Every structure is written in structure tokens, then in C-alpha cells.
Structure 1
């Protein structure tokens, strides 16, 4: 079945009332940060906190009574898994989900919570897919592919219908790319509604599978990425051709850009984005000149991120911005020295968060001591002022990594 604007409109009618029509809103703070006029489509507001519900429901609704009775199987790093599990439970369809071992615990737990049988297998999505195919054959289950299926692609394309209905002036859509289902469906819909619109995909630098496929080259993929939701080694056969026809460009983003984007969504927009969900913003942060002055629509496609990982990203962002500073202070070992240092930091407007006192380091004089101090500051310039005040008082300082200060 070919995917067209009409099949996408049919999909929109099918999911109406069962999948949230999420808002696409201006984001002035992100516009100020990037130099582009940013509009965000908040797919993290879905019941399963990701866009995957759209395609999953369209696919499940297309099954015959006999196929529903057999049950379905899917493989996913999390969001497709939850979407299939949730809507299968709503429709009374038994569901089995195969997930790779590095999948965040929060996603595994959520999928089980929707009533699916969860099988955790393999290091990569490709490994999970092989196991899912084995189980599907052994148990005669209906395969629900995460991206290379016309029904899935049509469902995901409904996002572009809604975005251009809400924000018809958009010049560019920036869309995360894993297997290609989301960008394929959105590109078909957007091109039909607004032929001159620019479609830009974004992949993790560690998993450039779509770019490699377009070039006819083997994909060199691997490594731990924050964007595990788009960490795909093998793109779809159908999606590859659709991307080739309809997508203008694909950009790669590194882990630092992904971290910055996740943090920007949380601190500036007060909304939670997983790494894949923040990939579009990461691309603009990494390539501001390519989007400057344009009206850009971002798909914040998922918000399922481990809270501990999110807290780590926030702390690392504070450190990068100079708002959380760790310093090793070498000074004389005498009574009152800790109070003196605390007073200097306090008078300069800093806030001490943690102190570790060392007397036994061999590179410290016998009558000396070192203090590892972690403090809050306003910014990098303020941190430099505090360190100058410590140096002027006779205390030798050395900036250290936050991780090192806790050894």
C-alpha cells in the first residue's frame, strides 16, 4: 500500500479521539537561544509520552479478527514498545515486546505496566529484532514493525498535518531519524500541503545509518548514545526510498549537543525530552547558521528519560556554564583555615555545596593540606572572581573535574 496524503488523512481520522492532538507552540526562549523562530510539537504529552502511538494504533486497527486473536509482537528500545503495548491492551490484543538490554529501566517498566509480555534480549536493536523474528515465527504472532510499514508511516505522518494546520507559516521541519518512519510520513504530508517546505533529518553521530544508506555505504554504528531511541543500525527499505525522494538534508549531532538540547528543553521550556526527542533542537544548536531567521518546527518526539540520567545532564550543564565549579585548594594546615576559605567564597557571592579535606597526599607539604571545594556561582566570570579572591588571600587553586573532586 503506497503512503500518500490521503492515507495519512485517513490515519488522522482513525486515531482521532484515541491519540492526543498535541499542541505545536512558539518557543520564544529557544528562539532566543538559537537565532531561529522555533515552534515545538509536544509529542511527549501522549499517554506513553512519545509519538509512536500514532503509527502503532493505525497498524493495530488494520488487523483482521483472526490476526488480533493470534497476538502481535514488536521490537523496540522503548517508545514503540510502549505504544504497541498500550493500544494492544485497549483493543484486547495480546502483545509481546522484545527490547535490547541497554533499554532504560523506566521504558522497560512502563511497557510491562501496559500489560505486555516483555523479553529483554541483545545489545542492539538489530539483536532484538532477530529475537523478535524468531519468537514471531515460533508463536505465529503478527509482526508490528517500528518503522518500515505503510500503516506505521501513515500514522506518524499525521504529526505534519497537525503542525502545518497550527503553524502554516513554517519554513522548515527538523525531524529525528532512526529507522525513518517518522520523517518519511511527515515529509509526504508536508510536501503535499506545502511543496516548498524544507525537511531536515537528524541522526546521532554514533548511528549515521540513514546517511550511510543514502550514500550506498555500510553504516559504522556503535557506542553509548543519549539518543538510544534513534540508535538504529538498519534503516527500512521503504523508508530509505521515501527519505531519498522527500528529505532535503540529514545532519549528525554529537553527544554534547544532545545533552545541551535536553537541558534546554528542561530549563527553558520546563518540559522533559529524551535524547532522541531533543535531537532536532540539538541540530539547530550545533548548526545555528543553517537555520538563522527561519520559522522552524521541531518534533519533540519523546520524553521517556531516566530521571537519574536527566539529573546528571543538568549537573553537567551547570558545570559547562561555570555555574557549578570544583576547585582544589592547597594551603597551610592551621586552625580556622576552612572557615577562612568559606568566608572568602561567601563574601564573593559563592555558595559552597561540598568540601573534601585531604592531608595525606604526597604532593602536599607535610604542614599543608588540600581542600576540594564544589561551589555554585552565577557564571564563569563570577567563578573566576572567586578564585582570584582565594589566590589573593594566599591559597593556591586548581580547577578540577567534578568527578575527580569526589574520588
Structure 2
């Protein structure tokens, strides 16, 4: 499949991102490796200024808008999110003086909502889930004359792919990388970076069992839309797959692993115990999938992407405080 961008364009995006935020670390944690029986690297996207990898895409997307002819530059942008995409646009928009409106589902994470408002975004709560909020954002874009920022676009993928460039530069001999999938920019960025660098690393997509739309789409080879998602990992809570993202995934990902909320929560606890890092549900999903496939990955050099650490305090306290004895990953 033809890449979305060139290696030179990816490196230029990395320069743009690094002018604002430093590269995030990738660390092979000894205790984590011991527990899982493999050399486990964690790519720490929870260490960005907004606590998630999405900030990279926001910076590159807003830069893309700034380079449009004057007559085409938007007076303001709008998008839908469960939190991290919205924070990325608010962060980049504030730097560029670009007004940002974000639509989130009703009952969205209070912490993520507060963070977006603190970054200067106007927040609108509408709809029962991400897909309903997205429909409302499209309607508001028309009503207010705003430019709709989609959840998947070439500048967004090029931006988030800079984390993959950092990872592969620091650890080029990885056997496999596990990547969580919501709308797919992070997974597709990882695939694009691997292919542009000519690497043979296996890339495994990870979804939540309570949001099976992407996994079913991957299996069918076409977008399949399901019922509203039911998972604590809000970053993975989408109903289906974006066609452009699915095409890249089916061509470049080895498989999709679905993990349960119980497995995700166990991975959140393990990340804290073994690395003292905070992971939100989506951020721990990759480790949960590796734990599921630990026998397959035994003795290999593997990375997991900790995509974000933006979890509400009460949710995290409940996860850390659980004593159900089901944490096979901590054995």
C-alpha cells in the first residue's frame, strides 16, 4: 500500500513536534520484563504535556491549517472526542490563536473535560457516546461556520507517527509492538513509520472486548458498525472502523487482540507496580494484550505503547484498590 507520507515528511513532523515538546522515553523495565517473560519496552506517551500521544497530531494538524492560503484558513475548528484528541487540538489551537470547540458525550470523564477547558477549548456535551458526539460536532460545524477536524486525517497520522519514529530509532530491533486502537491514528502511524524505515517488526492492534467494532471490521475486511461501546477504556470506545484506517491496518497489522476490562484493569495495576506510571484504560490495553499472549512472546523483544495516563482519580483509586485475585499478569 502506498504510504500516506514520506520519511522526510515524517522527520520534518518530528522536528515540528520536538520544537514544542521533547521526545518521550521508551524504557525496558526490568520488573515488567521479569513478570512477562520477555524484554518489554514501554513507550511513555503518558509523559507529554497533555498526558497522551494525541498532542503530536494536534500540533501537526494545526500547522497544516496555518499553511493554507489565507482565504482557506479557518476562523475556528470543532471536533469530537472522549478527551485526548480534544486536548491535543486545544493545546495546539491555544499556541496558534485558533479557537477550538470540542464536543464530548454526556457523562464524559470529568478530568478530561476539565483539562480541555483549562487549555482554552469551548466544551459541548452531547450524545450518548463518541459516535453521537461526532454527529453533533458535524451539525455544529455547519451551524457555526467552523472547520470540522476529523478523528483520522493524514496530518494527524503524520503527527502521531513521530512517537513511532522515536521508538524505532531508540529500539530498532523490536520483534513486536502492541498498539491500542480507537479511531486508528496511532496504529496507522506505527505501521507507516515501520514501513518507511524498512523494519520487519510485527505490529499487533489492541481493542477492548466491549468495543468490538474495529476487530469485527478487521476480520471482515470492511467497516462493520456495532452497538455503542461498553468499556472503561474510553479511548477505545468507538462503534466501528474508519475506512482509511482499516485499509492501512488490514495491510500492515498482524492481527487484532481484544482484551476485557478486567484484563485492562489488571494491566493498569501492573504498570503502577512495576514502573510507577499511571495509565488510563486505553493506555494499559497494549500491556493487557501482551499479557494475554505472553507465551507466544516469551523471550522476545517487545514494546507496548502506553498511549495516555488521563484517568479520573476515583476510577484509578478503584482499580488500584481492587483485590479480586485475578491478576494473572502479576504472577
TM tier, smaller: over 0.9
Q: How many residues are aligned here? A: 322
Other-structure match for 2:232: 226
Name which of 109, 113, 117 aligns with 2:122: 117
Pick from 306, 309, 321: which aligns with 1:300?
306
Distance 1:217 1:86, change over 3 A: closer
Cα contact 1:77–1:100 (8 A) shared by 2: yes
Q: Where has structure 1 moved over 4 Å in runs of 4 or more?
A: 65-69
- Alignment match, 1:38: 40
Shift of 1:228: 0.7
5+ long unaligned stretches in structure 2: none
Determine which of 3, 18, 22 is the counterpart of 1:20. Answer: 22
Residue segments in structure 1 that go unaligned for 5+ positions in a row:
323-407
Q: How does 1:318-357 map to 2 (within 5 A)?
A: 318-320=323-325
Query: Greater CA deviation, 13-22 or 179-188?
Result: 13-22
Contact 1:207/1:219 (<8 A) preserved: no
What displacement does 1:69 show?
A: 4.9
Change in CA separation of 1:162 and 1:253 when aligned onto 2, cut-off 3 Å: same
Deviations 1:224-282 (A, max 9, x none): 31211111113222111111111111100001100001111112210100000001000
SS of aligned partner of 1:277: helix
- Provide closer, same or farther for how the CA distance between residues 173 and 28 of structure 1 changes in structure 2, counting only shifts above 3 A: same
Compute the displacement of 1:133 (Å): 0.2
Q: What secondary structure does 2:264 align onto?
A: helix
Contact 1:179-1:236 within 8 A present in 2 as well: yes
Superposed CA offset, 1:104-142 (max 9, x none): 100001101111100011111110000000011111111
1:125-144 maps to which residues of 2 (within 5 A)?
A: 125-144=130-149
Contact 2:223 2:243 in 1 (8 A): no
Question: In the TM superposition, what is the alpha-carbon distance from 1:102 to its structure 2 partner?
Answer: 3.1
Distance 1:137 1:223 in 2: 27
**CA shift digits 1:126-175 (9 cap, x unpaired):** 100000000111111112222x2011111111111100111122111110
Which residue pairs with 1:404 in the alignment? Answer: none
1:82 to 75, 84, 87: 87
SS at structure 1 position matched to 2:160? helix
Q: Which has the higher strand share?
A: 1
Which shows bigger deviation, 261-270 or 128-137? 261-270
Residues of 2 paired with 1:191 and 1:295: CA distance? 19
The answer to whether 1:211 aligns with 2:252 is no
Q: Distance in 2 between matches of 1:117 and 1:245?
A: 38
1:68–1:93 contact (8 Å) kept in structure 2: no
| TM-score calculated relative to the size of structure 1 | 0.76
Deviates most, 219-228 or 298-307? 219-228
Q: Which residue of 1 aligns with 2:203?
A: 199
Q: How does 1:1-400 map to 2 (within 5 A)?
A: 2-63=4-65, 64=68, 65-146=70-151, 148-214=152-218, 215=220, 216=222, 218-316=224-322, 318-320=323-325
- State the secondary structure of the residue aligned to 2:282: coil
Note the C-alpha offset of 1:33. Answer: 1.4
CA distance in 1 between partners of 2:71 and 2:98 (Å): 11
Secondary structure at the aligned position of 1:206 is classed as coil
- Could you tell me how far apart the structure 2 residues matched to 1:13 and 1:110 are? 26
Structure 1 residues 223 and 153: alpha-carbon distance in aligned structure 2, compared to 1, 3 A threshold: closer
